[in-house]
Structure 1
Amino acid sequence: MTAAFPTLFLSHGSPMIAVEPGPAGHFLQRLGPAIETLWGRPKAIVVMSPHTATPTPYVLGAAHHDTIHDFGGFPAALYEIRYDTPGEPQLASEIHQKLVNGGLPARLTSQGGLDHGIWTLLMHMFPAANLPVVPLSLNPRAKPADMLALGRLLTDLRRQGVLVIGSGSLTHNLQRFFHHPSPVDAPEEADCAAFRAWVHDKAQAADWPALLDYRAQAPHAWAMHPTDEHWLAFYFAAGAAMCDTDTIGPATSLRIHESVTHGHLAMDAYAFGAEAAKLANV
C-alpha cells in the first residue's frame, strides 16, 4: 500500500443490476480489479447505504454478514444470489469510537447483514466475497452538510487500507419509475441530463457551497430526488476524502462512470481525493 485509497460514491440503481449488469455493472467489474492493481487489496470495506437507515448512526459490527434480499416482486434468480462476507468487529468498534469522539450519538451493534445497496455493488467489484465489510447506517433526514461532516470523521481509514464507499443513486424517483415505466434502454430524459450535468460541473469545480445547497440550486432537484436518502451517501463519501487543509469539501471530485437506465435513473459514480485521478479511465 503506497498511498491512500480514494473514496467512492457508487450508484446501485435497481437490484436487477445483480443479474443484468448493464454499463454500470460492467464498470464495477472493472473497478474492483483496478483498485487492487493501483492500491492493493483493501483490508476492509466500509459502506453506507440508504437501505440500512436509522435516525442514529449504527455501525454493524458482526463477525459475519448474510445477504439480505430486501425487495419484492423480482425474478426468482435474484433471490438465489448469495454474497455473504466476513465482518470486522474490531474495525467497527474503532469507527464507533471515532463517531462518538466526533460528538455523534452513534451505536455499535453486533448485528449484521448486507442490504442490496451493498451486495449488488460488491458482488461485481470483488466477486470472491472474502473482504471484510463494515456497514454503516444512513440517517435519511440528515442534511448534506451533516453527512459531509460524518464522513470527515473517518478520513484516516483510507490511509489504513480501508476502502470507503457511499452507495446510493445519482438520481432516484421511484414514483416516476413505477407510474411511468420505460424500457431499461430508453433515451435519457431532459431533466435527468440537466441534473447530472449540474452535479458533474459543480463537482469538477469543487463548488461545495453549491453542492451542499443542491435542493435550492440544482436543476430539477425535487424531480430527481423527491427524498434525500439515495443522494446523501455522496456527501458521506466526499467527507471521508477530505484532508486537514480542506474546509468544506475535498479538492478533487471526479466522475468515473456515467450511464442512465429507464431514461431517468442515473448510475453515475464519483471518486474523491487526490488519488481519484487514477480511476479516470476505468
Structure 2
Amino acid sequence: MTTLPTYFISHGGGPWPFMKTEYGQTYAKLEATLQDMPRQLGVTPKAILVISAHWEEAEFTVQANATPGMIYDYSGFPEHTYHISYPAPGSPELAKQVQALIEQAGFAAKLDLQRGFDHGTYSALFPIYPNADIPIVQLSLKAHLDPASHIALGRALAPLRQQGILIIGSGLSYHNLRQFGPSGYAASREFDDWLQDTLIQSDSIRRVEKLLAWSQAPSARAAHPREEHLLPLMVALGAAQEDVASCVYHENTFMGGLTVSSFRFG
C-alpha cells in the first residue's frame, strides 16, 4: 500500500466552512487548498487520525467513540453554527491501535468513549471530505505541551502511514487572538519565515533541533503566546520521519494581514 503523507493544516477560525454568507471570500484560498488534498493524495484513506489543537488531556487520549457527536467549542457565532453536523463515523479499532502504538513508545495513553468532534476536526475536514464518509479518530495533545513528547508521539504513529491512515495535525501557524488582524502582521510574517526555512530548507535532523527550540525563533511568543496550535505540527513532523516538507497553503492577507501556512510531509 502507498505510504501516505502527513499534513499540518492551519484550520482557520471557528466554524468558517459553514459561514459562507458571513465570510464571503475570506477563506477562499484556504478552502481551495483543502479541497485539493484528495487530488494530492491520489487515494482515499482508510481512516483519518486528527491531532486537534482543541483537545488537551493529562495523558495522550484517543477518541474511541464509534459515532462521535459534535462539540461546539466556540462562542459568539451565528445560531445555525451550533447545529452543524459532520456525521463521520469513528473507529474504535483504530483508536485501540493508536493507544497500543503510544504505549509501545513508552507513554501512557487512554481511550475516551464519549468524545465528539471539535471544530479543529470538522472545520478542517468538511472542505476535504464533505460527504463525511471516512472514519475519523481524534487524538489529544498532552497538557504539558512539551515539543519533544509530541515529536516522539508522531514517530510512534508513523507505521499507520503504511496502513492507509492519513495523519493530520490541525492547528494554526499563527495563533495570537489578541493580535489577530493587521496588528499581528509583523510577528506572523517573521515567524512564518522561520517556519518555512525550518521545515523546507533544513534537513530532517536540523528541523527537529530547531522545532525543539521553537520558542527562540523570531517573534515566536508573539505568534504563539501558548503553543497548543503549533504542537499538531510537531506530531505531523514526527510521523513524517525523514520525508521532505512542502508548503501547500500560504497567504499573507489572512484575516486582514496575517501570514499563515500549511505543510505536507512526504
| TM, length-normalised to structure 2 | 0.90
Question: Which residue in 1 is equivalent to 2:147?
Answer: 144
How far the C-alpha of 1:67 sits from its partner, in A, is 2.1
- Whether 1:74 aligns to 2:62 is no
Question: Which residue in 1 is equivalent to 2:5?
Answer: 6
**Range with bigger deviation, 50-59 or 222-231:** 50-59
The AA in structure 2 aligned to 1:102 is A
> Residue 102 of structure 1: which of 102, 105, 115 is its match?
105
User: Residues 185 and 259 of structure 2 are in contact (CA less than 8 Å); yes or no, is this contact kept in structure 1?
Assistant: no
Q: For the residues of structure 2 that align with 1:156 and 1:265, how far apart are their CA atoms?
A: 35
Identify unmatched segments of 5+ residues in structure 1: 243-249, 274-282
Q: For the residues of structure 1 that align with 2:197 and 2:168, how far apart are their CA atoms?
A: 22
- Whether 1:255 aligns to 2:251 is no
SS in 2 for 1:222: helix
> Residue 45 of structure 1: which of 45, 48, 56 is its match?
48
Q: CA 1:143 to 1:45, structure 2 compared with 1: closer, same or farther past 3 Å?
A: same
Question: Which residue in 2 is equivalent to 1:246?
Answer: none
- 1:49-68 equivalences under 5 Å are 49-68=52-71
- Whether 1:27 aligns to 2:20 is no
How far the C-alpha of 1:46 sits from its partner, in A, is 0.2
**Range with bigger deviation, 59-68 or 264-273:** 264-273
- 1:177-196 equivalences under 5 Å are 177=180, 182=181, 189-196=185-192
Question: Which residue in 2 is equivalent to 1:278?
Answer: none
In the TM superposition, what whole-angstrom CA distance separates every residue of 1:61-95 from its partner, at most 9, and x where no partner exists? 11111222111101223223211210111111011
Q: For the residues of structure 2 that align with 1:195 and 1:263, how far apart are their CA atoms?
A: 17
Q: For the residues of structure 2 that align with 1:187 and 1:125, how far apart are their CA atoms?
A: 31
Q: For the residues of structure 2 that align with 1:74 and 1:265, how far apart are their CA atoms?
A: 21
Question: Which residue in 2 is equivalent to 1:213?
Answer: 213
Q: For the residues of structure 2 that align with 1:205 and 1:110, how far apart are their CA atoms?
A: 41
User: Residues 66 and 85 of structure 1 are in contact (CA less than 8 Å); yes or no, is this contact kept in structure 2?
Assistant: no
In the TM superposition, what whole-angstrom CA distance separates every residue of 1:134-187 from its partner, at most 9, and x where no partner exists? 10011242221211101100101011000000000001001223xxxx4xxx59
How far the C-alpha of 1:55 sits from its partner, in A, is 1.8
Question: Which residue in 1 is equivalent to 2:263?
Answer: 270
Q: CA 1:82 to 1:52, structure 2 compared with 1: closer, same or farther past 3 Å?
A: same
How far the C-alpha of 1:59 sits from its partner, in A, is 0.6
SS in 2 for 1:91: helix
User: Residues 24 and 267 of structure 1 are in contact (CA less than 8 Å); yes or no, is this contact kept in structure 2?
Assistant: no
Count of aligned pairs: 254
The AA in structure 1 aligned to 2:148 is A
How far the C-alpha of 1:34 sits from its partner, in A, is 3.3
- Whether 1:199 aligns to 2:192 is no
- RMSD across aligned positions (CA): 1.7
Q: For the residues of structure 2 that align with 1:215 and 1:176, how far apart are their CA atoms?
A: 18
How far the C-alpha of 1:200 sits from its partner, in A, is 0.3
Q: For the residues of structure 2 that align with 1:41 and 1:16, how far apart are their CA atoms?
A: 25
How far the C-alpha of 1:25 sits from its partner, in A, is 1.6
| TM, length-normalised to structure 1 | 0.85
The AA in structure 2 aligned to 1:258 is H
